[in-house]
Amino acid sequence: MDVEGIYLASASPRRAALLDQIGVEYQVIAAEIGEDPLAGEAVEATVVRLASEKAECVARQTRAAPRPVLAADTLVVLAGEVMGKPRDEAAALAMLGKLSGQTHQVLTGVALAWAGTLKTRLNVSEVRFRSTTVQERQAYCLTGEPMGKAGAYAVQGMGAVFIERIAGSYSGVMGLPLKQTAELLSATGQPAWLGAR
């Protein structure tokens, strides 16, 4: 059953921009769920579970006008430590200090709920930060960009000046891996990008 357009269960402007990039039509309906990990839960399981819960939440809200619901969740992990969104500037500075000169993982779970089914994908990328100075980290925090970002940086923004290399998916580090997203959308009959129409 083909339906034109999807619901994006995220208020993230970065995820919206990525869907715009490949020409997917969508309507934003942010999902309100708790984002705490479960006791003993692996990070890989956490991002997939949270993405799934977001997709299912919006699918329930939109039963009267059903469309495929796409959701995602991203976590940054350094040496086993999960770095969420910084609660304040001090937390952002601490995260950026830990990332300096180190390689960390960015995990993004993607979920698509449609017609009573739920399909998921996981993307894992590695990001290497160059060594940064205290002054650089402070100046970056003053821009406000680190707030609301997992790991306290934006790969598509000014935070890019700290990145030496990425192994994996650039869009996945941004918060929505487009290869996996296209796979999920194609399974619903949705055009996954402009060339697929």
Q: Residues with catalytic annotation?
A: 73
Please give the angle made by the CA atoms of 67, 9 and 12, to the nearest 5 degrees.
Answer: 140
Q: Is 79 left (phi over 0), alpha (psi -120 to 50) or beta?
A: left
CB 73 within 8 Å of CB 41: no
Task: Say how far apart CA 124 and CA 77 lie, in whole Å.
Answer: 10
**What number of other Cβ atoms are within 10 A of residue 165's Cβ?**
10
